[in-house]
Structure 1
Amino acid sequence: MPTAPEQNDDAARGAAPDAPVIEFRDVGKRYGDNVVLDGLDFSVRKGDRVTLIGPSGSGKTTILRLVMTLEDATEGYIFVDGEPLTHEERNGRRVELNKKQRKRIRQKIGMVFQQFNLFPNMTVLENIVEAPLHVLGHPRAEVLERAGNLLEKVGLADKADAHPSSLSGGQQQRVAIARALAMDPEILLLDEVTSALDPEIVGEVLGILRTIAEETDITMLLVTHEMQFAKDVSNRVLMFDGGRIIEEAEPEAMFSNPTHERTKSFLRAVLGEDQIGTR
């Protein structure tokens, strides 16, 4: 583990071109006696689209919440662009970083939640421009232009003055995606973004995300039970169980010929017995 001065030198130079954008080093998360993540080590490189799959309670969403700093790890270290996110090692001790440091790094990260979390008292446009204006301090004209472009991208250019309550669930989730992208994040976290939607409108939201994946180099870390979407968008899939990664593979290999018995049983339950090959 680098010492604090080494980490500061790395931060000043910027992360190496091939360095991970997100890195977990021996990360643990506990709630009392309940171990949610257990010595987790993995990394995500720039432009990767990494999908986390596994049964409920396996720790997938917790990973996203830790990266978004909505929660803190109990132990271990998380790095974004080579910089410690919430804690660093200093003189052999795990030391919490100050709020200013957390906020600066968190601005590189956007997240779209299961629930849309839009501000009900604001219009669609106001929801999108709020953070770029007041958190990033970008010029209003620039923010408005970008917001208009994003509304076009998600197919809601005619809804700028509408309030969230007048929109369908799929439309609200598309606004939430536009709001996350308005911060121009380097990393986009997606937490079961279709789970609160009616089945007939799931496709429209997944289509927007496929387009974003195809047209940008944004790094994505996503949790989903939509396995076809994971197969289409991801370049890596990680299977979680009991707070650990038990298998990692490219989508085609993971979904057609998983090697771990727990992965096989999970995917058979999700996809059907005849969809999973054997080795």
Structure 2
Amino acid sequence: MSADTASSNDELIRFDHVTKRFGDNTVLDSLDFKVFPGKHVTLIGPSGSGKTTILRLLMTLLKPDEGTIKVDGAYLSHEEKDGKLVPAGEKHVREVRKNIGMVFQQFNLFPNMKVLRNITEAPVHVLGLSQDEADARARELLELVGLGDRCDAYPSQLSGGQQQRVAIARALAMRPKVLLLDEVTSALDPELVAGVLDLLRDIARTTDVTMVCVTHEMNFARDVSDCVMMFDEGRVIEYGHPDQMFSAPEHERTREFLSAVL
């Protein structure tokens, strides 16, 4: 199942027959899934259909029970030793995960750190940037997200929408090749949602970062996506360009879901 119709070997993300179970519940069922560089892919479907599990596997918060995942050509949860695939060591996982940034439903900012340090902490300690370089990058990103004047604020001094903007800047500070977005507006008051979605639209238009997004904001999905994938019971049952998916879905389950959320 591909998020691009191009016949190419340069996919940035590749799931091969990935299965994930929680007890007797199969959340992902032998999933094949590709995303190509620079594409914006939105995963839609009912709660429990496996969408967020895909993001958590990519962040190595979970490991697949079967199958393999590659990011930028490197195995994520496995590595090759003596011609065989074995479970990956922590060093290998950390190296591959540098390519991936994630913005969660909850902001997960460090409450004891000011905004600037929230953004610079990982680039300094994970990427090895100098403090000056990390500070400059953080200030640039804070300008991008409209918070250039809040470098010295603590998270508790910011609104929910501002905290989520800081979380987006923090993810981008790692210069990820892939940005994962997990229902990033679900914890926000309704009046704050539009501002965060507009920011993400701007990032989608003005950067080459690849996005994989889980959202119930269908207008946002229509605006930013190159491909929309409909999940149900751990499988992709339909995918295509948003114009086709939202205007003339082919699968009855997709039509049912969209009629309930639009």
What TM-score, normalized by structure 1, do the two folds share?
0.89
Partner of 2:149: helix, strand, or coil?
Answer: helix
Matched, 1:188 2:179: yes
Which structure 2 residue ranges, 5 or more long, are not aligned?
1-7
CA contact (8 A) 1:18 1:45 kept: no
Counterpart among 197, 201, 208 of residue 210 in structure 1: 201
Q: Who is 2:242 aligned against?
A: 251
Q: Deviations over 1:252-278 (max 9, x none)?
A: 00001100000000000000xxxxxxx
Q: Who is 1:123 aligned against?
A: 114
Q: Who is 1:158 aligned against?
A: 149
Q: Who is 1:134 aligned against?
A: 125
Q: Who is 2:231 aligned against?
A: 240
Counterpart among 54, 61, 73 of residue 63 in structure 1: 54
Which is worse superposed, 83-92 or 64-73?
A: 83-92
Counterpart among 251, 270, 275 of residue 261 in structure 2: 270
Matching residue's letter, 1:108: N
Matching residue's letter, 1:21: L
Matching residue's letter, 2:257: F
Runs of 4+ aligned residues of structure 1 deviating over 6 Å after TM superposition are 89-93
Q: Who is 1:173 aligned against?
A: 164
Rg: which structure is higher? Answer: 1
Matching residue's letter, 1:23: R
Partner of 1:105: helix, strand, or coil?
Answer: helix
What TM-score, normalized by structure 2, do the two folds share?
0.95
CA contact (8 A) 1:77 1:88 kept: no
Residue correspondence of structure 1 range 212-231 to structure 2 within 5 A? 212-231=203-222
Q: Deviations over 1:79-100 (max 9, x none)?
A: 0111111125778975201111
Q: Who is 1:34 aligned against?
A: 25
Q: Who is 2:16 aligned against?
A: 25
Q: Who is 2:70 aligned against?
A: 79
Cα offset, 1:18, TM superposition: 4.6
Q: 1:91 to 1:76 in 2, by over 3 A?
A: farther
Which structure 1 residue ranges, 5 or more long, are not aligned?
1-16, 272-279
Q: Deviations over 1:9-49 (max 9, x none)?
A: xxxxxxxx851100000000001111000000010000010
Q: Give the Cα–Cα distance (whole angstroms) in 2 for the partners of residues 18 and 217 of structure 1.
A: 19
Q: CA RMSD in A?
A: 1.4
The alignment of Structure 1 onto Structure 2 pairs a total of residues equal to 255
Q: Who is 1:276 aligned against?
A: none
Identity %: 64
Q: Who is 1:14 aligned against?
A: none
Counterpart among 139, 153, 173 of residue 148 in structure 1: 139
Q: Give the Cα–Cα distance (whole angstroms) in 1 for the partners of residues 19 and 81 of structure 2.
A: 19
Cα offset, 1:136, TM superposition: 1.0
Q: Give the Cα–Cα distance (whole angstroms) in 1 for the partners of residues 52 and 256 of structure 2.
A: 21
